[in-house]
Amino acid sequence: MISDNQLYSLAIFLGSAAMLLIVLYHFLEVNSDDHARAEKPVAKPVAGKAKS
Give the pLDDT confidence of 1-52 residue by residue, as tens digits.
Answer: 999 999 999 999 999 999 999 999 999 999 998 876 766 666 677 677 777 6
Q: Residue 42: its pLDDT value, please? A: 65
- The secondary structure element, H or E, covering residue 25 is helix 4-30
Which residues are within 8 A (CB) of 29 and not within 5 positions of it... i.e. 6 or more apart? Answer: 35
Q: From CA 5, how far away is CA 8, in angstroms rounded?
A: 5
| Domain boundaries along the sequence of the chain | 4-35
**CA-CA-CA-CA torsion for 21, 25, 28, 34, nearest 10 degrees?**
160
Q: Please state the pTM of the whole predicted model.
A: 0.61
